[in-house]
Amino acid sequence: TRRVIVSPANLHPDEAWVVAQGEAFVKEARSSGLTVGQLMHDRDTKFTKEFDRTIKRLPVKVKHTVSWSPNTNAFVERFIQSLQQECIDKFLVFGEQHCDVLVREYCTYISRSARTRASASIMSCLTSSESQVGRRQSGARSTSRSCR
């Protein structure tokens, strides 16, 4: 079973926002009954030492992907590519909230169609309610999804 936890869109994510989303991700995953032993992220400059320290305090082991090797995290990369090509590219996106709605609907569609296929890999998409709350409190607006 594959699960996707979606955080809200953000046109200008900064260190504080990424740290808050990391914490919200771990809390959302655990509240959904998932065991979070490690968190893997790429080497984007937004994943700072503060992000790693925050995640390690939860306690979760932090792993970094190897530079220039997207196959290390192939399932995530494929999901993002599908989301971009099958959904985002088909719409004119009018802001972050509109992007959030489109992504949520796409996840619902994928989840339902996966259940109807005779497939061992069923995807469920969870929206992070905590990241929505953090977004309202900080004034920052959401994730590293690219909505154009």
- Amino acid identity of residue 128, one-letter, is S
**Residue 13: predicted pLDDT:** 92
Tokens of 112: 């339902």
pLDDT of 142: 32
The residues facing 40 across adjacent strands are 63
Nearest to 103 by CA among 86, 121, 78: 86
pLDDT at site 112: 81
Closest CA to 143 of 100, 113, 114: 100
pLDDT of residue 30: 93
**Cβ neighbours of residue 121 under 8 Å, at least 6 residues apart?**
1, 2, 114
- pLDDT by 10s per residue, the chain, length 148: 678 888 888 989 999 999 999 999 999 999 988 899 999 998 889 999 999 999 999 999 999 988 888 788 888 888 889 999 999 999 999 999 999 999 999 988 888 876 655 443 445 555 554 444 344 333 333 334 444 4
| Terminal C-alpha separation, the chain | 30
pLDDT value, residue 147: 46
Write down the pLDDT at residue 71: 81
What letter does residue 7 receive in the DSSP assignment?
A: P
pLDDT of amino acid 128: 53
